[in-house]
Structure 1
Amino acid sequence: MVGPAPLDEVIANANKLAQPGKGILASDESTRTVGKRLQSVGLDNTEANRQAFREMLYTTPGIGQYLSGAILFHETLFQSTANGTPFVKVLGEAGILPGIKVDVGLVPIPGTDGETSTLGLDDLTNRSRAYYEQGARFAKWRAVLKIGANLPSSLAIAMNARDLARYASICQQSGLVPIVEPEILIDGDHTLERSAEVAERVFAAVVAALHEHRVCLEGILLKPQMILPGAESPQKASPEEIAAATLRTLRRTIPPAVPGVMFLSGGQSEQEATVNLNTLNSLALQTGGAPWTLSFSFGRALQASPLRIWSGDASKVEEAQEMAVGLARVNAEAVLGKYSGPHPSKLTASLRENFRGWRQGEPR
């Protein structure tokens, strides 16, 4: 086993992951979850199908222009292409840092109204060092909080903040950049204002716990949800309102030392995630800038359309990869506040033929 890596490597990799104009592909779904995705296009949940799907994404020509990192699941980190090239090597040669999901799921917190904490700390030191040896250079840990009449509770916030900080400390000592993900679910009928209020409490608690555990803030990334009204809320928020609430919340809670805020796309369509990210960056530029890169760590918003096109058909790999690089490109543009459409997820097959320039980054 390798010993603890110096923090300068962790800080350098955090800045590489947060470089402007790039983002992270979150392809770390568990075997069960990716199986549901495969089954939605008529494929069995087998290791061969999971491997083929990941190979289609990771070998997309030109996608390294727009991605700085890719989060992998445990199985995927140790897989290879059909010709035997390890996925970590494929990603590395494209300039994409491999990452690894290190939490192992949620469990109920006794005495709460269905709130949860996250498992995986017990053997994290050994696992994170083994993942570093395998080629991973960053990690992800997801905590989940719910908004309700009396939720999230102070207990749930404190437990999840503490666990996120402990995870971050262990990963940094093992040479991995920790992505700190306090996801606040959009389930419910709460307003945009209520979402912002809860996010401020949660983010502040997480930052306090990071300080308490002496985590190096220059060597982490934050992965939150954008500030959105609840999925069942009668209130509808415009991209401008979402951007204003999100930027205000971050400015109130997240220290400038953190290199990047990499948003998840949960609850948004592929196009909504891009538009909201672009609006957020445009607003930041108009209001004095932001000390952190405002980027993406998208899963479904980068994978759903390529998966539908591919559907296990080898003759569709090129077309699916065209879509994958197109989605990565428009989101990279959104990181710079330069996205102007059209969105590749909205193009028909015939129209996609007119946008082949996405692959090589040619002008559209």
Structure 2
Amino acid sequence: MSTSKDELSANAKLFKTPGKSILAVDESISTVKLPCCEDNEDPRRAYRELLLTPPGALRSLNGVVLSEEALHQKTEHGKPFVDVLEENKVLVGITIRGNPVAWRGLDGHPQKFRQHREARARFAVWGDGPVTDASEPSEDAIRKQAKELASFATCCQRGGLIPIVYPKLSFDKTPSTSNPQAGQRDIPGDTLRVLRETVPPAIPAIVFLSSGQSEDEAVIAMNNLKVSKPWSLSSFFGPSPQQRTLKARARNDSPHSPQDTRRAQKRPRGTNKGDLQPGEGTSKSPYHKDYKH
């Protein structure tokens, strides 16, 4: 299956849509020990249905990252989750596992990426990408990581998928900054300064991950990016806005209960204008040691 550059470009530009963000649905299944982590597909399906199917649940999203299981999974009533997303004009993403050697088939091409595209995925993130120590990143480590990320991006594009490329950092140690009192207002500014010096304006969008922050912390950090910049800014939420849904899953709430509909409608909304809405925010961080996206 061939994919034109125009189609890839058009899909990538959807990440520039104001008021929209990306949600990593299955990230919390492996990082939060709740019933959805059981070695049983039914609880995982119920969790995804709880998160994606209530009315209004997808209105603030332009992309959702699924696991390979979820990419081929259906709701309790037999509707593929991919259909749920496409009907709401949400791009389907896939988490890629493994390494560049494992991705290539006998012909030397990234067959797995094409298979994901045939299953209607349109973008990808690398779940097992290289990790750099954020406290003392060496030049060699940065170059190695950049080379491996470039390989991932190339495989994505050859397979017809948009690559979401991001450097993974280990935060088990506190990274140093020029200002020892640096807080949430300083770090976004420092990040933007580095991005202006290194990222060309032709890049469609810069997407900030919530990482190990709480929902409220992630919203505050994005709101502190209200400055002039050459690209669109958006957000990529993992466990942060899913805490209420995970707790609801632990209580076995119905996916379509009035309470969960309100939860879904109040999910933080991404924007390239810096006016995220925290909704029913939670201040508890979902950080876990050796956390992986």
TM-score bin (small chain): 0.7 to 0.9
Q: How far has the Cα of 1:239 moved from its partner?
A: 2.8
| Distance change (3 Å), C-alpha of 1:40 and 1:172 | same
Q: How far has the Cα of 1:41 moved from its partner?
A: 5.7
**Larger RCO of the pair (alpha carbons < 8 Å, separation 6+):** 2
Q: How far has the Cα of 1:337 moved from its partner?
A: 2.2
The equivalent of 1:103 in structure 2 is 97
The equivalent of 1:146 in structure 2 is 133
Do the aligned residues in 1 keep the contact of 2:61 with 2:269 (CA within 8 Å)?
no
Separation in 2, partners of 1:190, 1:249: 15
| Distance change (3 Å), C-alpha of 1:80 and 1:73 | same
Rg comparison, structure with higher value: 1
Separation in 2, partners of 1:82, 1:152: 46
TM-score (structure 1 length as normaliser): 0.69
Q: Give SS of 2:165's match.
A: strand
| Distance change (3 Å), C-alpha of 1:293 and 1:75 | same
Show CA shifts across 1:282-326 (max 9, x none).
2x1xxxx22221111111112122211332514465323422331
Looking at secondary structure, tell me which structure has more helix per residue. Answer: 1
The equivalent of 1:326 in structure 2 is 266
The equivalent of 2:229 in structure 1 is 290
State the one-letter code of the partner of 2:131. Answer: V
Q: 1:67 aligns with which of 61, 66, 69?
A: 61
| Distance change (3 Å), C-alpha of 1:340 and 1:143 | same
In the TM superposition, what are the counterparts of 1:213-362 in structure 2 within 5 Å? 235-280=180-225, 282=226, 284=227, 289-315=228-254, 317-318=256-257, 319-327=259-267, 330-332=268-270, 335-339=272-276, 343-346=279-282
Separation in 2, partners of 1:261, 1:178: 12
Q: Give SS of 1:16's match.
A: helix
The equivalent of 1:164 in structure 2 is 149
Q: Give SS of 2:146's match.
A: helix
Do the aligned residues in 1 keep the contact of 2:19 with 2:60 (CA within 8 Å)?
yes
| Distance change (3 Å), C-alpha of 1:43 and 1:339 | closer
Q: How far has the Cα of 1:190 moved from its partner?
A: 2.6
Separation in 2, partners of 1:17, 1:162: 24
Q: 1:34 aligns with which of 21, 29, 42?
A: 29
Separation in 1, partners of 2:276, 2:118: 38
Q: 1:55 aligns with which of 49, 53, 67?
A: 49
Show CA shifts across 1:79-135 (max 9, x none).
011111111111000111101011337xxxxxxxxxxxx875444710110110101
TM-score (structure 2 length as normaliser): 0.85
The equivalent of 2:286 in structure 1 is none
| Distance change (3 Å), C-alpha of 1:260 and 1:174 | same
Q: How far has the Cα of 1:143 moved from its partner?
A: 3.3
Q: Give SS of 2:173's match.
A: coil
Q: Give SS of 1:239's match.
A: coil
Corresponding residue pairs, total:
277
Do the aligned residues in 2 keep the contact of 1:103 with 1:120 (CA within 8 Å)?
no
Where structure 1 has 5 or more consecutive residues not aligned to the other structure, the ranges are: 106-117, 195-234, 348-364
Percent identity over the alignment is 35
